[in-house]
Amino acid sequence: MFYNIGQIMMLFWRTIEAIPNAWLERKKVYDQLFEIGNASLLMVCILSLFIGGELALETGPTLVERGLSGVLGRMVGLSMCKELGPVMMAILIAGRIGSAMAAEIGSMRVYQEIDALRTMNISPVNYLVMPRMIAMVIALPALVIFSIPVGWLGGALVSSFNSSISVPVETFFHDLREGIAVSDVMHGLVKAFVFAIAIGLISCHQGLVTIGGPRGIGRSVTKAVVNSIVVILILDYFVTRFLIYFQ
Amino acid sequence: MSVAVRDLHKSFNGDEVLKGISFDVKPGETFVIMGPSGSGKSVLLKHIIGLEEPNSGEILIAGQSLHGSEVLKNYRVAMVFQSGALLKSLTVGENVGLYLTEHRLKDPDEVARIVAEKLEAVGLKGLEDRAPSELSGGMQKRVALARALVIDPQLVLFDEPTSELDPLMSVNIGEQIKLMRDRLHPTILIVTHDRDLAFGIGDRIAMIDEGQIRFIGTPDEIKNSRDPMIQKFIHAELTNT
């Protein structure tokens, strides 16, 4: 495990070293951005709508019963901003995009395409990893920005139409405006940024170390997704501690 | 451009694949490495192109040690892989021009012209926009050869260039390699167990078996060798009795 962590840190460092070439590789970055956005935007919206709705559905009746219906908007809003938006989107991206990255790079490794790049003095980090990392750290926070208001909307709709809650949309959003600051949204975006680095690094690393043909590619994909999700949840705790400390 | 291999050893998981390989290749020479499957030929080639690090021993390219240095970046070295190793996400044309575009050596129009010229040289004119998956195995190998030709190489390494090809296509690939040799005069290293290719194109042939060089000589010398293993290898035939 420590060997893998060391390798991932090395890859991170080499990716940072490659960033000055990002402008030259901008077409690959655009392609990856399109890939991530195109593959995920609709799913992000659907997922966020239902997460927001579910939050309201689970907590709304209890809050109303205790006379706290006025804080429902704030509760759904903060949960979406600080926790569920970034974490759920990161898990979604790890599953959809991280797996695709590991599979694509893994397949290139198994079928000697990466060896071919190296024989042409083309750095696989420059060519494959850096554009994906940059696209990931732009796309995931951007998707979280989409997911947060859609989640609020889901919460507002359920709060309004569910008979056991019946909090009007205006009341929901009034409370949400009162309780949410820009710093809360930034909190979620910082998390999304950190998760994006983790997903990109883990997925690209798994792809680059793939061995053993199609079965090896399958193993790499599974490892990339599982490891990404585990690391997202661990990082979530530490980033939250860090952000609370600086609040 | 000369290549020298000195006492090369390599093990994978305790299994010694290369057991002290040594040989010299002269500039402009076509040197063929033959041997049975699993004898360490491809691993040897990967060491020469810098894709593997030896446990011990040394490789000298134009007299400079490869180990821990970037000597290969100072020369135009190309490798044609057994599978072709074309990038599936790119078109044929993009594959052939990859070196030029990635290193920004030419403008796009010039790259397109060179790509067309190299594809024509390997008999694949007009296939720039095809995906590699649309081509046969032999065509993919010729595209890989065109990709190697783009850099006007000083050293070219071929890993099993005729494997999985029918006899006519094997001859065609051999002819393409000969054409390249006659036009560019690079040093060529070919790993193969195709006897016709080895005897038809090699200036010298090394026979490798179980990680060791068994014999080095001209095609005639190797044909006249009294080594039973070599005789068995070069005369092996399936008899229908």
What is the tens place of the pLDDT at every residue in B157-172?
999 888 877 888 888 8
Find the CB nearest A119 among B79, B88, B102: B79
Which tokens sit at B12? 């994978």
Find the CB nearest A113 among B79, B85, B151: B85
CB-defined contacts A:B, below 8 A = 49
Q: How far is CA B125 from CA B121, B152, B175, in A?
A: 8, 19, 17
Residue A131 CA, distance from chain mean position: 17
Residue written as token pair 């704030």: A74
Sign, CA torsion A13/A14/A20/A23: negative
Name the most confidently modeled range: A62-66, A138-142, B133-137.
A138-142
Task: Enumerate the β-bridge partners of residue B206.
Answer: B33, B216
Q: Which domain holds residue A153?
A: 2-246
Least confident of B145-154, B157-166, B201-210: B157-166
Q: How far is Cα B122 from Cα B141, in angstroms, rounded to an integer? A: 10
Q: How far is Cα A118 from Cα B182, in angstroms, rounded to an integer? A: 27
Closest Cα in chain B, distance from residue A12 (Å): 22
Could you report the per-residue pLDDT of A176-222, keeping only the tens digit for each? 888 888 999 999 999 999 999 999 999 999 999 999 888 999 999 99
Closest Cα in chain B, distance from residue A219 (Å): 21
Domains of chain B: 1-76+155-162+186-241 (3.40.50.300), 78-151 (no CATH)
How much is the pLDDT for B69?
Answer: 62
- Using pLDDT thresholds of 50, 70 and 90, give the confidence band for residue A2: confident
Q: How far is Cα B165 from Cα B150, in angstroms, rounded to an integer? A: 24
Could you report the per-residue pLDDT of A22-70, keeping only the tens digit for each? 888 889 999 999 988 887 899 999 999 999 999 999 999 999 888 888 8
Q: How far is Cα B131 from Cα A134, in angstroms, rounded to an integer? A: 27
**Chain A interface, mutation test: which of B12, B43, B73, B102, most A Cβ atoms within 10 Å?**
B102
Instruction: Give Cβ neighbours of residue B113 (< 8 Å, ≥ 6 apart).
Output: none
Could you report the per-residue pLDDT of B18-62, keeping only the tens digit for each? 999 999 999 999 999 998 888 888 899 999 998 888 999 999 998
Closest chain B residue to A123, measured at CA: B102
What is the enclosing helix (H) or strand (E) of A136?
A: helix A130-161
Closest Cα in chain A, distance from residue B100 (Å): 10
Q: B237-241: list long-range contacts, CB under 8 Å, 24+ apart.
A: none
**A112 to B83: CB separation less than 8 angstroms, yes or no:** yes
A82 vs B70 pLDDT, higher one = A82
- Using pLDDT thresholds of 50, 70 and 90, give the confidence band for residue A223: very high
pLDDT at residue B124 is higher than 70: yes
Sign, CA torsion B144/B145/B149/B153: positive
CA neighbor of A44 nearest in space, from A134, A141, A137: A141
Q: How many domains does chain A have?
A: 1
